[in-house]
Structure 1
């Protein structure tokens, strides 16, 4: 029984050695994997810092562009206000011209009868004038003819 215990202890010792050997290989492999993960994380951290800096710069530039666009939009608002005021002024002028034109039209229509009568009186006066001139020239011609015949 002593032999069995000795053999069992030796077998346990060999099994323990084998276990320790394979456990040390697994731990060494795990150590290499963890070293690779650490290197990858360091690289990733550096890349992430670079991306963060670029993102921050891009955000600042975007804010500057947005401010510039806002300033330009504000300056355009004054231009649009001026154009609107100009449009309203033109509309007022058009309204005034239309009002004056309507008044002239109404006055012309109202006075068209008087104008027509004045033109008729003027034509009648011209006709009378022409008849008087014709009569006067006939009288003078007759007088000259009579004067020649009597001399």
Structure 2
């Protein structure tokens, strides 16, 4: 019976040794995995710092661009207002020319005969002038 006790103690010791070896391997693998995770997180942290820096620079450039667009838009508003004023001036000028033209047409119609006489005398004067010039 003593030998049975020794054999069972030996089996228990071997099982315990196998368990310890298995736990040591498991802990080493866990340590290696945790080291890999730590390295990955450090790399990720470095990349996040770079992304944060680039994002800040991009945001500053975007703000500067938006400010520049606002300034140019304000200047463009002044130009549009000037063009609008110029359009009003041209419209007024066009109306004035039309009014003068209408008045001249009415006077010409009313004085048709006198206008025809003036044109005839103008033609005669031109002919006389040409003849004298040719001589």
Q: Distance in 2 between matches of 1:21 and 1:36?
A: 23
Any idea what the Cα deviations from partners look like across 1:89-140, whole Å, max 9, x if unmatched? 0121011101110121012212225x269x4xxx9xxxxxxxxxxxxxxxxx
TM norm structure 1: 0.71
Q: CA deviation at 1:79?
A: 0.8
Moved more, 14-23 or 1-10: 1-10
Any idea what the Cα deviations from partners look like across 1:34-55, whole Å, max 9, x if unmatched? 1121012112101111210111
Q: CA deviation at 1:5?
A: 3.2
Equivalent residue runs for 1:43-54 within 5 Å: 43-54=43-54
TM-align CA RMSD = 1.9
Q: Distance in 2 between matches of 1:46 and 1:21?
A: 38
Q: Distance in 1 between matches of 2:69 and 2:21?
A: 70
Change in CA separation of 1:3 and 1:87 when aligned onto 2, cut-off 3 Å: same
Aligned to 1:40: 40
Q: CA deviation at 1:58?
A: 1.0
Any idea what the Cα deviations from partners look like across 1:62-88, whole Å, max 9, x if unmatched? 111111111111101101210121122
Change in CA separation of 1:22 and 1:91 when aligned onto 2, cut-off 3 Å: same
When Rg is computed on C-alpha atoms for both structures, the one with the higher figure is: 1
Aligned to 1:75: 75
TM norm structure 2: 0.78
Higher relative contact order (CA 8 A, sep 6+): 2
Q: Distance in 1 between matches of 2:78 and 2:72?
A: 10
Return structure 1 stretches of 4+ with deviation > 3 angstroms.
none
Q: Distance in 1 between matches of 2:52 and 2:72?
A: 30
Number of matched pairs: 118
Equivalent residue runs for 1:56-95 within 5 Å: 56-95=56-95
Moved more, 31-40 or 2-11: 2-11
